[in-house]
Structures are given as structure tokens and as C-alpha cells.
Amino acid sequence: MKKLTRAQLNVLDAITKNVNKRNYAPSVQEICDTSGLKSKSTVHRHLKNLKDSGYIHWEEGQPRTLKVMKDVSELDRKRLSLQFEYAY
């Protein structure tokens, strides 16, 4: 299984944020707006990778059926968090 990337985590968080706010799955455009991504094709690629990794699932051809299947572990969140080291 591939490791989760920062961009995929960003998309997954955008999905969760939209579901918590509206109580239904977001559209690809809403994921773009929330995550800050500009390209719908990039969002589609991240969604496919998240589905292949088991983080999300949706019914083909059925709108608004996107569901989060598993949460990101705290270890992965920590690994993906931005940490800045300053060289002084």
C-alpha cells in the first residue's frame, strides 16, 4: 500500500470538513474550493488514489455517495505535517 501524501491528506480533510458542515458528500468542485486545488483532474486523481488505498468509497455513477471509510492515523498526520527547521 502506498503511503498517504500531503495532497491526499488535504483532499481527505476537505471531504471530512464538507461532510461535517453540510451532512452530505461534497462535489469535486467543492473539494477544489475547500482544499485550494485548482484542477478538477488533480482532485479526481487524488480521489482515485484514496479509494485504492481504502480511505474513501463511492458508488460509480451515483452522485454524492462519497464516504470516508477510515481515518488517518496520528502517526501519519505527524509524518505529513509541515515542520520547519531553521539553520542558524
CATH number at residue 10: 1.10.10.10
> Is the confidence at residue 46, as pLDDT, over 60?
yes
In a domain, 88, yes or no: no
Q: How confident is the model at residue 83 (pLDDT cuts 50, 70, 90)?
A: low
Q: What's the domain range around 32? A: 6-80
Residue with cell 473539494: 31
CA 65 remoteness from chain centre: 15
In a domain, 52, yes or no: yes
pLDDT at 88: 53
> Coil, strand, or helix at residue 30?
helix
Handedness of CA 78, 79, 84, 86 (dihedral sign): positive
In a domain, 87, yes or no: no
User: Would you tell me how many other CB atoms lie within 10 Å of the CB of residue 30?
Assistant: 17
What average pLDDT score do residues 26-39 get?
A: 93
Tally the domains of the chain.
1
In a domain, 61, yes or no: yes
> Is the confidence at residue 59, as pLDDT, over 90?
yes
In a domain, 15, yes or no: yes
User: Would you tell me how many other CB atoms lie within 10 Å of the CB of residue 41?
Assistant: 9
